[in-house]
Amino acid sequence: MADIKFEIKETIGTISESAKGWTKELNLISWNGKVPKYDLRDWAPEHEKMGKGFTLTAEELKELRDLLNKVEL
């Protein structure tokens, strides 16, 4: 498997933290030198390992925000 290179351009925030110290974070990340996208995934402490996640463009993030604003909790 090829190495995946990433650079966290901006940390938006942490949603939760597990008992083992992993955090679910929303960050702006450049993957393999490409244009940064918003990224939601689990990270080990110090960001040495990552879990599965997903990326969104700014427009997709706006659409998700609008959808979440409609959710009644």
CATH number of the domain enclosing 54: 2.30.31.70
Q: How many domains does the chain have?
A: 1
Tell me: pLDDT of 2 over 80.
Answer: no
pLDDT at 3: 86
User: Alpha-carbon distance 19 to 13, whole Å?
Assistant: 18
Question: What b/e sequence results for 10-47 when a residue is b if at least 16 CB atoms lie within 10 Å of its CB, and e otherwise?
Answer: eeeeeeeeeeeebbbbbbbbeeeeeebbbbbbbbeeee
Render pLDDT for 19-48 as a digit per residue (tens, 0 to 9): 999 999 999 999 999 999 999 999 999 999
* 33 domain-assigned: yes
Query: Is 61 inside any structural domain?
Result: yes
pTM of the model: 0.90
Average pLDDT over all residues of the chain? 96
56: in domain? yes
Residue range 38-65: mean pLDDT, rounded: 97
Structure confidence at residue 4 (pLDDT) = 87
Share of the chain above pLDDT 70, in %: 99
